[in-house]
Structure 1
Amino acid sequence: MGAGWADDGDAHGGDYCSTPGRCHRDRQPIALGRIMVVIRRMSRPRILVLISVQSGYYRNIVRGVYRYATARGGWDLTRNEPSRTKPMDVKNFTGIIHCAAGNAISLEQLVEQGRPLIDCSNWCETPGVPAVVSDDASAGAKAAEYLLGLGHRNFAFAGFNAGLYSPRRRDGFVRRLATAGHSVDCHVLYEGERVNGRYVNQIERTTAWLRGLPKPCGLLVCADQDALHVSQIANAAGIAVPDEIAMIGVDDDDLVCGLAKPTLTSVRMDGIGVGAAAAQALDRLLSGAQVESLRRLPPLEVVVRDSTDQQPVADPVVRGAIAWLRMHADTKVSLSECARSTGVSLRTLQSRFASVLGHGPAESLLALRIDHAARLLAETDLPLKAVALRAGFASAAYLCTVFAARRGVTPGTYRKQKQRLAG
């Protein structure tokens, strides 16, 4: 039998039949079978998965645990949220997987109760507790590599000092850029006085910091949720993303990345792999075997979205025109309108584009529309005609022509390729 999820609590017990008169007639075949079910259930390991942060990354850890348990068979899984105030009683569980970030109290309580335990929270190091986590320093280095590949020469990091993952992502980012001869302007998002649970002047501090960064700049934010917050601050301050600041998050929480405007590029971490490896390590502990004290799984890839989808451009006129084109790419636009938005004539704008990029603004507009169509093909089930209209193309036929010329495959083939990779 495979794994089964349960609520926290004992779901077993109860009468074997609801009609007393029938119990005596039927008890030999029915009662024996049900007794065997109860015995099997009592012998099945009960595994508690503690999760307190409902992000895509931590949900993927739970998915990984479930996949391992299903393939293994014989585990009863329970998911619960740890309390920050009340002691936890885990005596009814055989083993525990802890992925409650920001909750060191719950981990200490669990250690005291002596149950086999694997920590995936990546929040603190606890002696004697084996940990399976993502390699956060490698995630920072991967983000640095990507921004270097785009041609950036100015770099920044935003995060916090608590826990383990933000400082490690920062350090990996800084070290990789140092080897390329670059420094990083680091900003602490959450510090200082708090009133009613909120940091005083946090938005004002971050706004001033973003405005003071040299442009264009490549920015890594420690996690997607925090990058969404920074993106909202940049938008409110009129700082163009990605044309002035190319922004990357970490974890690839697709819901959070999709909510950001523009959509957020992110380093995808292997949450499912972490969960499966943690479950395997716990299985070994339960069998009496030794396990590694620490195992780190590398990040998978950089998932590119709108927030970095632009080569860094020093010319403020060209940079501003690209930002305007990006904003209006899905509508019928006039290049003369674009020129007016930057305060120059169309001829001057075309000359500046040719000098900086080697092509005119019409070429940049077409590239933006093709990229938008590619994302719609990969992330939605919209029919081709709807994709074309939403991406700013006059017809599906024209989209097919230019898409195949630029991407080397038809839109339909591109969608199938992306679906295979995702599935």
Structure 2
Amino acid sequence: MREIPRVILLVETSRAFGRELLYGIARYSRSHGPWAFYKETGGLERSISRLKNWGADGIIMRNPKRSDELIAMGLPTILVIHRREEPPGFPRIVTDGPGVARMAADHLLDRGFRRFAFCGFDDMVWSQQRKRAFRERIAEAGFETLVYEQPTSARNRTWEREQPLLAAWLAALPKPVGLFACNDDRAQHVTEACKTAGVHVPEEVAIIGVDNDELVCDLADPPISSVALDTEMAGYHAAELLDRMMRGGDRTACDIMVHPTHIVTRQSTDILAIDDADVAGAIRFIRQNARHAIRVGDVAEAAALSRRVLEKRFRSLLNRSVHEEIRRVRVDQIATMLVETDLPIAEIAYRLGFPGVEHIARYFRKERNISPQDYRKTHGRRFTVHV
């Protein structure tokens, strides 16, 4: 391999998933390179001959058309899986669809919903995988999921023709309902169809998507809650693997997983679907005070209920204790700060009212079965990490 490796990148940049992958790849290149990149912005059909003559050393690509011609070049190649068809025998970047769906389901369950729906793309294998996992998690909780089915005709799947069909389906759903969309683009479709149907978000339909594409989520009205992924980390690991392959290392097929990290809550799910006003007020108090070391007694006092009565009503509605809810919300807060900031863990402990690093580490490990340091290494952006 030459002194400066040449790497072909065929990864879309119009959405956060592709951009985050590229950030991770670029970060690895800065630390271990330099690398030279060929990033195709136009159609592959127009540039296939140039790519073949460029003298590349490796490829990372997202299942483009005519990919067989690039694969036939025999270069170290990593595929970003997106379509149903995939060439066998290559390392792949794959999203943990079941983990994504379970996190979305738990988010809606935690908000007290008892009615659920799913909206995806019927011809996308990853969407179908998320649908199955979401239905399974909701069934475990004792509920069913209503599923939107797209028109079978491609002609009727244009947004102009599909929007009124989706709007009619949304209008007919029992309310209130928690809806999981397969990604942020689909969540935005649902948001717009709700406007057409005169359905209020989040009061009647609470919507959560996937990818945490800030532009897509914030352009929606109201802004969309989303499952965040450690896509940037996956890009870094993919570049690391490609580097070894380009140096003559093993090219055996393996999966680089993109895991869900946390929920970025925006207005589309900022609601509690709980009929008991006292319990809803208690949950609201816990969330508003997640940065403080609150106790069950503090929650009972805020709800103006005895501890015994609050516990009974809490378990009846949410199937968990007040103490378990406090721990769950606090651990979610820790996880978010580990992923989204480069604050030293000692500083996070201080800001959340823990006596020190050892105490917050025990608290976090008990819920997530992983230390804060390892959680950050696995899921966090590559800031300069402090411990």
TM-score band by shorter chain is 0.5 to 0.7
For 1:268, which of 211, 214, 228 is the aligned residue? Answer: 228
Match of 1:246 in 2: 206
Partner Cα separation in structure 1 for residue 155 and residue 114 of structure 2? 35
Q: CA shift at 1:82, angstroms?
A: 6.0
When residues 71 and 260 of structure 1 are mapped into structure 2, their CA distance, relative to the original with a 3 A threshold, is same
Matches within 5 A, 1:188-207: 188-189=149-150, 191-194=152-155, 198=158, 201-207=161-167
Q: CA shift at 1:288, angstroms?
A: 2.2
For 1:93, which of 52, 56, 66 is the aligned residue? Answer: 56
State which structure, 1 or 2, has the greater radius of gyration over its C-alpha atoms. Answer: 1
Q: Are the aligned partners of 2:164 and 2:196 in contact in 1 as well (CA < 8 Å)?
A: no
Matches within 5 A, 1:138-287: 138-189=99-150, 191-194=152-155, 198=158, 201-287=161-247
Aligned residue identity for 1:231: T
Partner Cα separation in structure 2 for residue 167 and residue 295 of structure 1? 20
2:13 is the counterpart of 1:50:
no
When residues 212 and 301 of structure 1 are mapped into structure 2, their CA distance, relative to the original with a 3 A threshold, is same
Give the gaps of 5 or more residues in structure 2. 292-328, 331-336, 344-380
Aligned residue identity for 1:247: I
Q: Are the aligned partners of 1:224 and 1:256 in contact in 2 as well (CA < 8 Å)?
A: yes
Matches within 5 A, 1:19-418: 43-81=3-41, 83=43, 85-86=45-46, 88-89=48-49, 90-91=51-52, 92-99=55-62, 103=64, 105-124=65-84, 125-189=86-150, 191-194=152-155, 198=158, 201-290=161-250, 291-313=252-274, 356-358=276-278
- Secondary structure at 2:39 match in 1: strand
Partner Cα separation in structure 1 for residue 253 and residue 267 of structure 2? 39
Partner Cα separation in structure 2 for residue 209 and residue 95 of structure 1? 47
Q: Are the aligned partners of 2:231 and 2:259 in contact in 1 as well (CA < 8 Å)?
A: no
Q: TM-score, normalised by structure 1?
A: 0.62
Partner Cα separation in structure 1 for residue 102 and residue 199 of structure 2? 25
Q: CA shift at 1:172, angstroms?
A: 1.7
Q: Are the aligned partners of 2:7 and 2:57 in contact in 1 as well (CA < 8 Å)?
A: yes
Partner Cα separation in structure 1 for residue 159 and residue 223 of structure 2? 26
Q: Are the aligned partners of 1:133 and 1:296 in contact in 2 as well (CA < 8 Å)?
A: yes
String of CA shifts for 1:11-69, please: whole Å, max 9, x gaps. Answer: xxxxxxxxxxxxxxxxxxxxxxxxxxxxx9x6311011112351011100000100111
Q: CA shift at 1:306, angstroms?
A: 0.5
When residues 180 and 310 of structure 1 are mapped into structure 2, their CA distance, relative to the original with a 3 A threshold, is same
Q: CA shift at 1:95, angstroms?
A: 0.4
Aligned residue identity for 1:163: M
Q: Are the aligned partners of 1:46 and 1:95 in contact in 2 as well (CA < 8 Å)?
A: yes
The structure, 1 or 2, with the larger RCO (C-alpha pairs under 8 Å, 6+ apart) is 2
Q: Are the aligned partners of 1:249 and 1:264 in contact in 2 as well (CA < 8 Å)?
A: yes
When residues 300 and 190 of structure 1 are mapped into structure 2, their CA distance, relative to the original with a 3 A threshold, is farther
Q: Are the aligned partners of 1:193 and 1:200 in contact in 2 as well (CA < 8 Å)?
A: no
When residues 53 and 357 of structure 1 are mapped into structure 2, their CA distance, relative to the original with a 3 A threshold, is same
Partner Cα separation in structure 2 for residue 131 and residue 359 of structure 1? 46
Q: CA shift at 1:181, angstroms?
A: 2.0
When residues 84 and 252 of structure 1 are mapped into structure 2, their CA distance, relative to the original with a 3 A threshold, is same
Partner Cα separation in structure 1 for residue 272 and residue 97 of structure 2? 26
Q: Are the aligned partners of 1:243 and 1:313 in contact in 2 as well (CA < 8 Å)?
A: no
Partner Cα separation in structure 2 for residue 64 and residue 418 of structure 1? 15
Partner Cα separation in structure 2 for residue 249 and residue 79 of structure 1? 28
Partner Cα separation in structure 2 for residue 239 and residue 192 of structure 1? 26
Q: CA shift at 1:85, angstroms?
A: 4.3
- Secondary structure at 2:256 match in 1: strand
Q: Are the aligned partners of 1:216 and 1:313 in contact in 2 as well (CA < 8 Å)?
A: no
Q: CA shift at 1:143, angstroms?
A: 0.3
Aligned residue identity for 1:222: C
Q: Are the aligned partners of 1:82 and 1:106 in contact in 2 as well (CA < 8 Å)?
A: no
Q: Are the aligned partners of 1:140 and 1:170 in contact in 2 as well (CA < 8 Å)?
A: yes
How much is the aligned-residue C-alpha RMSD, in angstroms?
A: 3.1
Partner Cα separation in structure 2 for residue 73 and residue 200 of structure 1? 47
- Secondary structure at 1:156 match in 2: strand
Aligned residue identity for 1:182: F
- Secondary structure at 2:195 match in 1: helix
Match of 2:301 in 1: none
Q: Are the aligned partners of 1:65 and 1:279 in contact in 2 as well (CA < 8 Å)?
A: yes
Q: CA shift at 1:270, angstroms?
A: 1.3
Q: Are the aligned partners of 2:118 and 2:148 in contact in 1 as well (CA < 8 Å)?
A: yes
Q: CA shift at 1:128, angstroms?
A: 1.6
Alignment identity in percent?
31
Q: CA shift at 1:359, angstroms?
A: 9.5
String of CA shifts for 1:351-400, please: whole Å, max 9, x gaps. Answer: xxxxx41399xx89xx89x98xx9xxxxxxxxxxxxxxxxxxxxxxxxxx
When residues 200 and 264 of structure 1 are mapped into structure 2, their CA distance, relative to the original with a 3 A threshold, is closer
Aligned residue identity for 2:194: A
Bigger mean CA deviation after superposition, 168-177 or 240-249: 168-177
Bigger mean CA deviation after superposition, 58-67 or 134-143: 134-143
Q: CA shift at 1:287, angstroms?
A: 2.0
